[in-house]
Structure 1
Amino acid sequence: MTTYLLISVSLVLVAYILGSIPTGYIIARALKGIDIREFGSGSTGATNVLRNVGKGAAIAVLLIDMIKGVLAVYLVKLTYIYFDILPIQWQGWLIAIASLIAVIGHSKSIWLNFSGGKSAAISLGILLAMNPVVGFGTFTIFLTILGICKIVSLSSISAAIAVNILMVIFNPTIPYISFTIIAGIYVIVRHRTNIDRIIAGTEPRIGQTG
């Protein structure tokens, strides 16, 4: 039991470190020599990078942040499958916990004095690794809302709500549903300033700065 606990804690810690890798900050520094936190919304996520660095940089940030989420899940899955050192009853909960910590790490990076992004992209990567149908369904909802309103934050919030329905339908396990509820609420809370701007009608749309 002590060995299992030590392994679990180590996996969660590595998941946090993965989530903490400040992709947007690194790419903005490398391409433009700027601290992306000092521009636009102050987020290190793909949307703020798009507005202040460019489309190519934003796509790179989005993909890498998604990969971070995928790795956080498969870190646990591969440890369980290939090394057979974790009891099966631990796997779902450990994936959910490690994933949640990775999400928090993305927005509270140890490398950036606990600042960061808004955790939407890494959450999408996690969902794709947990259940591809849920992940692609969530991304489809994100793209649909984005196509209608052209507001990334509103699309992310809508996806954070819808993912709970999708998880209940396609993968109704308590650990994964618990993750989508907690992570969804966290993503929405991280967008609270965006919500204020949406209500005020001042939230920038795709193609606008701010």
Structure 2
Amino acid sequence: MIIAYLLGSIPFALIIGKLVIGIDIREHGSRNMGATNAVRVLGIKWGIIVFALDMLKAGLIIALFRFNIISFQEHNLVHPLVYGAIAILGHLFPVFAQFHGGKGVACTAGIILVYQPLIFLIGLCIFIIIVVSTKYVSLGSLFSAFACLILSIIIPNRKVYSGPLFTNGRFDYWLIGFLFIVTIIIIISHRHNIKRLLSKTESKITDREKLL
């Protein structure tokens, strides 16, 4: 669990900001260490790289179980999604960045991609449609989070994992519970964005403070 937290704590937006142009991204744009702020400050190329790396650090943990690199039965471990949730907490409160991190969207996407790819693809399509049509990344993040939660109930359990603590019935209650908690976390982390959306003062993805 400590390894999951430390992986989630790696502040890729901060690292890339300092390596590329020598800035602390927490002092620019929205002062958030997520991919959206990286796009605004560093440009779309580096923003995409930050998003991909944030996905990777959380998805990697799930992949270790998904492809049997780590066996649940052999190590008597808790469900992989628990480790994924801990990685998200590491991203939100990174020990390597004074506990001031991102909002958890990219990490969640990485976990869903490995655990349930179909839900990821549908959620990604919803995200892209909303962002392209409204230019609000926060709105796309919120809607796609809700969509993934609903899809986890609609789409049958793929039985990716097996074991005494794993769900093998019609519903994957671990995934449903995970996405329910993560959706609440994403809403809380976007609470200021929601207020700005309601007051029509939210920044669009096209509003950039590009320093590069």
TM range (shorter): 0.7 to 0.9
Which residue number in structure 1 is paired with residue 199 of structure 2? 200
Equivalent residue number for residue 79 of structure 1: 70
- State the match for 1:28 in structure 2: 17
Matched, 1:116 2:101: yes
Q: Distance in 2 between matches of 1:16 and 1:76?
A: 17
Task: Establish whether residue 101 from structure 1 lines up as the match of residue 100 from structure 2.
Answer: no
1:76 CA displacement: 3.6
CA contact (8 A) 2:8 2:87 kept: yes
Corresponding residue of 1:8: none
Name the structure, 1 or 2, with higher relative contact order (CA <8 Å, separation 6+).
2
Note the C-alpha offset of 1:75: 2.8
Residue in structure 2 matched with residue 48 of structure 1 by the alignment: 37
Which one of 121, 126, 130 corresponds to residue 145 of structure 1?
130
Contact 1:76-1:94 within 8 A present in 2 as well: no
What TM-score, normalized to structure 1? Answer: 0.87
**Alpha-carbon offset, residue 203 of structure 1:** 0.6
C-alpha displacement of 1:206: 1.9
Alpha-carbon displacement from aligned partner over 1:123-150 (angstroms, at most 9, x marks no partner): 0000011110011111111111112211
Any gaps of 5 or more consecutive residues in structure 1? 1-11
Figure out how many residues of one structure are paired with residues of the other and give that number: 193
The one-letter code matched in structure 2 to 1:114 is F
Counterparts of 1:55 and 1:146 in 2: how far apart (Å)? 14
Deviations 1:80-124 (A, max 9, x none): 17xx5145xx6xx52121111111111110101111111101100
The answer to whether the aligner puts 1:66 opposite 2:55 as a matched pair is yes
How far residue 167 of structure 1 moved from its aligned partner, in angstroms, is 0.9
Return the offset for 1:57: 0.8
Structure 2: distance between partners of 1:74 and 1:14? 14
Deviates more, 1:34-43 or 1:70-79: 70-79
The share of aligned pairs that are identical, in percent, is: 36
1:41 maps to a residue whose letter is: S
In the superposition, the TM-score normalised over structure 2's length comes to 0.86
1:50-74 residue CA offsets vs partner (Å, 9 max, x unmatched):
1111111101101111111210212
Q: Which moved more, 1:93-102 or 1:150-159?
A: 93-102
Q: Which residue of 1 aligns with 2:179?
A: 180
Mapped to 1, the partners of 2:28 and 2:12 lie a distance apart of: 16
Partner SS, residue 85 of structure 1: helix
Residue in structure 1 matching 2:46, options 46, 57, 67: 57
The CA distance in 2 between the partners of 1:96 and 1:118, in whole Å, is: 18
> Which residue of structure 2 aligns with residue 164 of structure 1?
149
Asked if the contact 2:59–2:84 (Cα under 8 Å) also holds between the matched residues in 1, the reply is no
Distance (Å, rounded) in 2 between the aligned partners of 1:42 and 1:137: 30
In terms of fraction of residues, the more helix-rich structure is 1
Per the alignment, in what secondary structure is the counterpart of residue 61 of structure 2?
Answer: helix
Q: What is the Cα-based RMSD across aligned positions, in Å?
A: 1.5
In structure 2, list runs of 5 or more residues that go unmatched. Answer: 158-170
Post-superposition, which runs of at least 4 consecutive aligned residues in structure 1 deviate over 2 A? Answer: 75-78
Q: Which amino acid is the alignment partner of residue 157 of structure 1? A: L
